[in-house]
Structure 1
Amino acid sequence: MTTSNVTQSSEANASASNSSNLLDHLNDIDTGDADGGSVNTSNSDEAAASQTHFGFKQVEKAQKESMVADVFHSVAAKYDLMNDLMSLGIHRMWKRYTIDCSGVRPGHKVLDLAGGTGDLAAKFSRIVGETGQVTLADINHSMLMVGKEKLTNMGIMSNLNYVQANAEALPFPSNHFDLVTMAFGLRNVTEKSNALASIFRVLKPGGRLLVLEFSKPNSEALSKVYDAYSFHLLPKMGKLVADDAESYQYLAESIRMHPDQVTLESMMKEVGFEQTSYTNLTGGIVALHRGFKF
């Protein structure tokens, strides 16, 4: 493993004539007649297939990765502080629950994917011990450097690797990791199914995936409060603390565009995961998804 240098009557006759002309025109369209101005949907279908969402915007798939990168380059330095402020510190409880569900033991190999500033990696490093190994991977160089500096300052060095990697094409051997975690990163991936398949490949038989991600609140009242907070207070907070309202507007929009709990579980099953399940946290604002490779 190489450490990086850190995704669509006369009126009656006139009426009959008009109706006939209209039918002829529709037939021309249906048969693709050149005189009728045929409608070719292939180009529009191709255009739709080449696009994806960036928040609420439609962008070319090829552009999304760099656009997401710009967001996280912008927020990296204030990422930990903003996490505490945005969640009132509750993100630490969500991550603690994820660790408790991990089943990690000394000697295990763990991949903390889209691991950002390393909150999960730091905990896993202590659990797996000197005989284990933790890889902190993130597609964003700035986030990875912030995480490396933080964990190095904590004295966590010997069993930790840092790799800049795209979740859709992981640069690791097949059947390599006992556990892969992905906390608050999957919603930013262009082709989520590709990422899930890539994760499935690098897991050992018997290994598990934990996806901690924002999801769909399970009550209408909570959804309304959550929307008001996300689209009104969150960008203002981002402007005040990180001088970047636009990035936090994107983050709020990306949460709304992410698949709901049932859809994500189905996506995991489609790439091969078994015994899949999810647990709603904080009323479904966040959900922890589990899946195993057998």
Structure 2
Amino acid sequence: MSTTPHADETKSAETGGSTTHFGFKTVPEAEKVKLVHDVFEQVASRYDLMNDLMSGGLHRAWKQALIDWLNPPRGPRAYAHIDVAGGTGDIAFRLLERAGPNAHVTVCDINSHMLGVGRDRAEAQQFAGRVEFACGDAETLPFPDRSFDSYTIAFGIRNVTHIENALADAYRVLKPGGRFLCLEFSQVSVPGLDAIYDTYSFGAIPRIGKWVTGDGDPYQYLVESIRRFPPQERFKTMIETAGFSRVQYRNFSGGIAAIHSGWRL
């Protein structure tokens, strides 16, 4: 895959302030949260469509694989799960369909528009009593230490400003023995597929996004953000550095997506 090297934070020579990446652009660090917020505000009502465009519809199978690997308990014991950056509730509802009757999911997202979609869906699917929605930043979750039995984040961690902070806070809010799982677009590992995927991603997705929604810019950013995300082995090391043990990953669709798993011991 033709990628631009992952950029860590830098210092702006002109302003002396911290900068970071927003897709392929370099922006002041303080502005990234708002820029990402604006992207997801535009696509909130079409979030599943967005992921269909980004993955060719495969995101549905990958999300099911995430739940399968998590394998939430189906018995009567209380079970607390947090899904971060999952405001529309897609992962939460899949988990609740699988887990036991005393499972409870907290969905935390920084974008109120995404959360609004999730609340409406929860009510429509009669999950309202088993799921709650909270507005919060993945880097500083508004929950006490050791609050949850498991943590998931799907297609969200590449959008945070400091990935290492989000991983550290995931570790903080998990109980000892808790499970961390991250589903994210990743680095293609099959020769030949990378060129096809690049052509589709940069050539087709923004154009389709503009045709469907009237604006291709959010889709351009999302494609670029995938290319800036650390490859599988590097991300595995970052998870281990955050304190997690038994870290491993599984590639899907030739590495277009990967699920990383770790445990707080």
What's the TM-score once normalised by structure 2's chain length?
0.91
Give deviations 1:237-264, integer Å, cap 9, x for gaps.
1001111100000000000000110110
Residue of structure 2 in register with 1:14 after alignment: none
Q: 1:58 aligns with which of 12, 26, 39?
A: 26
The structure that is helix-richer by fraction is: 1
Task: Indicate if the aligned counterparts of 1:196 and 1:271 stay in contact, CA closer than 8 A.
Answer: yes
Indicate the larger mover: 248-257 or 127-136: 127-136
Residue of structure 1 in register with 2:90 after alignment: 119
Give deviations 1:191-215, integer Å, cap 9, x for gaps.
0000000000000111110000000
Give deviations 1:85-126, integer Å, cap 9, x for gaps.
443321110000000010311421110111131111002223
Q: Distance in 2 between matches of 1:251 and 1:280?
A: 20
Q: Distance in 2 between matches of 1:85 and 1:50?
A: 33
User: Structure 2 regions of 5+ residues with no counterpart?
Assistant: 1-6
1:263 corresponds to 2:231: no
What secondary structure sits across from 1:220 in the alignment?
A: coil
Give the partner amino acid of 2:174.
Answer: L
**Map of 1:266-281 to 2, 5 A cutoff?**
266-281=237-252
Residue of structure 1 in register with 2:3 after alignment: none
**Map of 1:39-188 to 2, 5 A cutoff?**
44=13, 47=16, 50-106=18-74, 107-188=78-159
What secondary structure sits across from 2:150 in the alignment?
A: strand
Q: Distance in 1 between matches of 2:59 and 2:105?
A: 21
What secondary structure sits across from 1:178 in the alignment?
A: strand
What secondary structure sits across from 1:209 in the alignment?
A: strand
Query: How many residue pairs are counted as aligned between the two chains?
Result: 253
Give deviations 1:9-68, integer Å, cap 9, x for gaps.
xxxxxxxxxxxxxxxxxxxxxxxxxxxxxxxxx973984x70100000000110000000
Task: Indicate if the aligned counterparts of 2:122 and 2:131 stay in contact, CA closer than 8 A.
Answer: no
Give deviations 1:253-284, integer Å, cap 9, x for gaps.
00000011011000001110000000000000
Q: 2:196 aligns with which of 225, 240, 248?
A: 225
Residue of structure 2 in register with 1:189 after alignment: 160
- Pair member with larger Rg: 1
Task: Indicate if the aligned counterparts of 2:44 and 2:117 stay in contact, CA closer than 8 A.
Answer: yes
Q: 1:241 aligns with which of 205, 209, 212?
A: 212
Q: Distance in 2 between matches of 1:61 and 1:249?
A: 20
Q: Distance in 1 between matches of 2:219 and 2:228?
A: 14
Q: 1:140 to 1:43 in 2, by over 3 A?
A: closer
What secondary structure sits across from 2:13 in the alignment?
A: helix
Question: Deviation of residue 143 (structure 1)?
Answer: 0.8
Task: Indicate if the aligned counterparts of 2:87 and 2:133 stay in contact, CA closer than 8 A.
Answer: no
Percent identical: 45
User: Structure 1 regions of 5+ residues with no counterpart?
Assistant: 1-7, 9-41
Task: Indicate if the aligned counterparts of 1:82 and 1:241 stay in contact, CA closer than 8 A.
Answer: no
Task: Indicate if the aligned counterparts of 1:111 and 1:179 stay in contact, CA closer than 8 A.
Answer: yes
Q: Distance in 2 between matches of 1:230 and 1:156?
A: 35
The structure that is strand-richer by fraction is: 2
Residue of structure 2 in register with 1:198 after alignment: 169
Give the partner amino acid of 1:278.
Answer: Y
Q: Distance in 2 between matches of 1:136 and 1:282?
A: 27
Q: Distance in 2 between matches of 1:105 and 1:46?
A: 51
Q: 1:51 to 1:85 in 2, by over 3 A?
A: closer
Q: CA RMSD in A?
A: 1.7
Q: Using CA pairs under 8 Å that are at least 6 residues apart, name the structure with larger relative contact order, 1 or 2.
A: 2
Residue of structure 1 in register with 2:181 after alignment: 210
Give the partner amino acid of 2:183.
Answer: L
Give the partner amino acid of 2:175.
Answer: K
Give deviations 1:130-188, integer Å, cap 9, x for gaps.
42210111111111111111121111111111001100001111111111000000000
Q: Distance in 2 between matches of 1:262 and 1:46?
A: 34
Task: Indicate if the aligned counterparts of 1:130 and 1:158 stay in contact, CA closer than 8 A.
Answer: no
Q: Distance in 2 between matches of 1:265 and 1:82?
A: 26
Q: Distance in 2 between matches of 1:118 and 1:105?
A: 19
Q: Distance in 1 between matches of 2:71 and 2:50?
A: 29
